[in-house]
Amino acid sequence: MTSNAPLFDPVAIGAFEAPNRIFMAPLTRSRSEAKTNEQTGLHALYYAQRAGAGLIVSEATQISQQGQGYAWTPGIFTEDQVESWKPVTDAVHNAGGRIFCQLWHVGAISHPVFQPDGGKPVSASAWTPEGEAFVGDRHADGPQVPFEEARALRTDEIPSLIEDYRHAARCAAEAGFDGVEVHCANNYLIDQFIRSATNCRSDEYGGSLENRLRLMREIVAAVCEELPADRVGVRLSPQGGPGGTEDENPGETYPAAAKALAGRGLAYLHVIRPNSHTGQGKDEGGDAIVKDMRAAFDGPFIANGNFSPEEAAQWIAEGHADAVTFGRLFLANPDLPERIAQDGPYNEPDEDTFYGGGAEGYTDYSSLEKVDDPLPA
């Protein structure tokens, strides 16, 4: 365990102390109820199995019906959805864990089948993402269909959007979450306002970098009016994400976004570096931007992006991050901290069961305890 020792130091994250720095990344698994976007007992088991994480960040959870972009993903905006999350948060807490709810609006990365009254998805500006929408069984042409053009949000619609985030934060607290993470990453709605390629607006939410960051600032401020700031985190990603767009100057844009979040007393900033899972290979330029973001932010800093345990420990030891979130490793290894403590072995994730389905590839990955149990005589 010597090389990985920094991962096992406690760390203060906002309102609580995490017992280790091995955090669980938000992972879309598409197993919620199809018509209601509610959670089930299977979700409670899945998250409780992984409660050894210093912090769990939930799968991305839509703040409104307009915010949905994938089949079978959860919501946090109706009373029934709130009730369905309570057994999940209870299970995590009973297992000694902590869990934040990631608040999500996909923006253009959607399809009319998910939208109220079959309308167009919304974004910073009108554009059509590259690729296909995962619509599951909602469309006659198949589970994946081409994206359609999104429309620009009107300026007079933005206050109600901000209220949706505010309402979702209240719902998350009622559901028993320890805090929330505002999803401003991966080219979803807030990131579509941040990125120069998707924001062509001429109002106060477009044009200059300061204006492109305005929606993020206002949403985070609204959420912090509903929850103490030390129970609010934010996620950003300088590169990568669905839809096929980039910012023309991420080295300027994303450190500025990190700086805009400083001074608020937030629980943390969570940043994704370029990596093979987001369509970009790991590169030194991308790591440099992440480290600049670390320098620009004044609170706990969480890094993500295809880290090995050894590299994560090195980043923490060198002061580049206070904790690291693991995605696929945690997906396949519910007892990941214990495995890292003894340098493995690690289960391999089954990509065929990542999205949709039931217990297979979700709650049936073995733990070390199960692996070590002798076979019945």
Instruction: Read off φ and ψ for residue 163, nearest 5 degrees.
Output: -65, -35
Q: pTM for this structure?
A: 0.95
> Residue 332 has what pLDDT?
98
Note whether 81 and 74 are within 8 A (CB). yes
Give residue 281's Cα distance to chain centre.
Answer: 20
Domain boundaries, the chain: 2-372
Show the DSSP H helices in the chain as ranges.
41-49, 79-94, 158-174, 189-194, 209-212, 214-226, 250-261, 284-296, 309-317, 328-332, 336-341, 368-372
For 13-22, the pLDDT digits (tens) are 999 999 999 9
pLDDT of residue 280: 54
User: How far is 18 from 72, CA to CA, in rounded Å?
Assistant: 30
Question: Would you place residue 283 in the very low, low, confident or very high pLDDT band (cuts 50, 70, 90)?
Answer: low
* pLDDT number for residue 140: 84
Closest listed residue to residue 100, CA positions, set 18, 9, 163 = 18
pLDDT in tens, 234-248: 999 998 788 988 899
pLDDT at 285: 66
Closest alpha carbon to 345 in 357, 358, 335: 335
**pLDDT at position 161:** 98
Cβ atoms of 88 and 102 within 8 Å: the answer is no
Q: Which residue has the tokens 């993020």?
A: 216
pLDDT at 376: 41
| pLDDT (0 to 100) of residue 216 | 98
**Looking at residues 185-212, what average pLDDT do you find?**
97
When pLDDT is cut at 50, 70 and 90, the band that residue 277 belongs to is: low
DSSP symbol at 164: H
Q: Is the pLDDT of residue 375 over 50?
A: no
Specify the pLDDT at position 1. 46
44 or 373, greater pLDDT: 44
Catalytic residue of the set 46, 165, 188, 205: 188
Average pLDDT, the chain: 94
Please give the Cα distance from 74 to 70 (Å, whole number): 10
CA–CA dist 41, 39 (Å, integer): 7
DSSP H or E segment with residue 133: strand 132-134
Topology of the domain covering 2-372: TIM Barrel (3.20.20)
What's the pLDDT band for 279 if we cut at 50, 70, 90?
low
| pLDDT exceeds 70 at position 290 | yes
- The reported pLDDT for the residue numbered 276 is 63
Q: What is the pLDDT of residue 278?
A: 55
- pLDDT of 366 strictly over 60: yes
pLDDT (average), residues 63-86: 98
Residues 106-153: tens digit of each pLDDT: 999 999 999 999 999 999 999 999 999 999 998 888 899 999 999 999
362 is known as an active-site residue: no
Kindly give the pairing relationship between strand 323-326 and strand 22-24.
Answer: parallel
Least confident residue range of 59-63, 69-73, 200-204, 366-370: 366-370
